[in-house]
Amino acid sequence: METYSASAVTRNYDRLVGVYDLLASLWSGGAIRAARMWCARQTRSRTRVLVVGAGTGDDAALCCANGAEVHLVEASQKMLAESVLRCKSAGGTDPVAIDDDFRNVQFTQPMDDILVPFFLNIFCSAELPQILRHLKECNASDGRILISDFSPPAHFFASKSLMELWHGIPMAFFFLFTGNAWHGVHDLPHALEEAGLTIVQRQKFRIFGIGPRWIEALIVEIKSDL
């Protein structure tokens, strides 16, 4: 695959390593972590698992504990180090750590499962097709991509506006502090369909356990040509 870099590599995530999980918990009431861990629980032992944008790595640690061969890709050195530490503390297999921008990483062997925990939210909608194409290239033909991210907004104007506001406040912080792309809530089901990917399982999570289902986890497979 030809490497590309339509947007700049994000910055300053090293400075967030100590508060990242706390911020996510305070903002979503645990829904973000619940979606990530749900995806991790779907992975299988003795398979090749790639975690893209590993962050602090609770989900990756569970994959290691379950006996998977885990590869971590993370552009933040401190985030990657924290993820590796949690993986090793969990027991099981030791992860392979890759300190790089995922867009420039290639593998000689395809992955059975790819975890994508809130990584797609870094990019604008125009760059999503490139990212999804690269994920497909890294995945085995019978493999799966497990995505945790924001649910697409409802069509009802008031509900959509409220969700966009809730999504937009942390989006503004990450846009200014880390250089993430500025965008509204992605319509991931549509983007996945356009990329030739099929959603085979979907799980939604309520904000604070009782609020709207604005966080979701998706299991995705490459569409069959048959």
**Residue-wise pLDDT tens digits, 9-32:** 678 899 999 999 999 999 999 999
Single-letter residue type at 125: S
Mean pLDDT computed over 197-207: 98
Q: Taking a C-beta distance cutoff of 8 angstroms, is the pair 84, 112 a contact?
A: no
Ranges of each domain in the chain: 13-222
Give 128-155 pLDDT, tens digit per residue: 999 999 999 999 999 999 999 999 988 8
Domain 13-222 fold: Rossmann fold (3.40.50)
Give 87-141 pLDDT, tens digit per residue: 999 999 999 999 999 999 999 999 999 999 999 999 999 999 999 999 999 999 9
pLDDT bin (cut points 50, 70, 90) of residue 6 is low
Give 181-190 pLDDT, tens digit per residue: 999 999 999 9
β-pairing, 139-150 with 215-222? antiparallel
Does the pLDDT at position 1 exceed 50?
A: no
Give 216-226 pLDDT, tens digit per residue: 999 999 987 65
**DSSP helix/strand/coil, 150:** strand
Mean pLDDT computed over 169-198: 94
Does the pLDDT at position 3 exceed 60?
A: no
Give 32-58 pLDDT, tens digit per residue: 999 999 999 999 999 999 999 999 999
Angle between helices 31-41 and 20-28 (to 10 degrees): 110
Q: pTM to 2 decimals?
A: 0.94
User: What are the C-alpha distances in Å from 49 to residues 71, 89, 109, 195?
Assistant: 6, 18, 11, 21
Does the pLDDT at position 4 exceed 60?
A: no
What per-residue confidence (pLDDT) applies to 116?
98
Q: Taking a C-beta distance cutoff of 8 angstroms, is the pair 209, 134 a contact?
A: no
What per-residue confidence (pLDDT) applies to 8?
60
